[in-house]
Structure formats: structure tokens, C-alpha cells
Amino acid sequence: MPGTRREHIRIGQKVRVVQKQDQRSGKLTEGIVSKILTNSATHPHGIKVMLEDGTVGRAKEILN
């Protein structure tokens, strides 16, 4: 599931994010959401989240 809608993302959920420096290459980093940083309901490039290890990026995929 794409990570463009805030309502689909929950704290404690496993996601793949793209970090700012990896936007050109599209490299994804997997982790557990600790904080949701985007306030708006949707974002075309993905909702910005912080992972448990402190990584900040835009959610590209929500994993089960």
C-alpha cells in the first residue's frame, strides 16, 4: 500500500521510506514508525515519518 495518506499510517507499523539524500536513487529504508511528522491528510510524495532508529523520510510503502 502506498504511504500517501496519513490515515493509513500508524505508530508501530512497518514501512519503507525514502530519505532526503536517497530521493534521486530511490533507495528505500525499512523500519518501524515512531512518529508521524506530516500534519496534512495526504501528500503526493508520501507522509513524512520518523522511524524508531531516528531516520526521517517519506513513507513509500506500508508493509504488513
**φ and ψ of 26, to 5 deg:** 80, 15
State residue 44's pLDDT score: 96
Residue ranges per domain, the chain? Answer: 6-62
CATH topology of domain 6-62: SH3 type barrels. (2.30.30)
Counting every residue written for the chain, the total comes to: 64
Residue 31 DSSP symbol? E
Per-residue pLDDT of 1-15, as tens digits, reads: 899 999 999 999 999
Q: How confident is the model at residue 22 (pLDDT cuts 50, 70, 90)?
A: very high
Provide the grid cell at 57: 523520510
pLDDT at res. 8: 96
Cα dihedral value 52, 29, 21, 38, nearest 10: -50
Compute the average pLDDT of residues 5-33.
Answer: 97
Q: Is the pLDDT of residue 34 over 90?
A: yes
DSSP 3-state percent helix, strand, coil across the chain (nearest 5) = 10, 45, 45
Q: Is the pLDDT of residue 64 over 90?
A: no
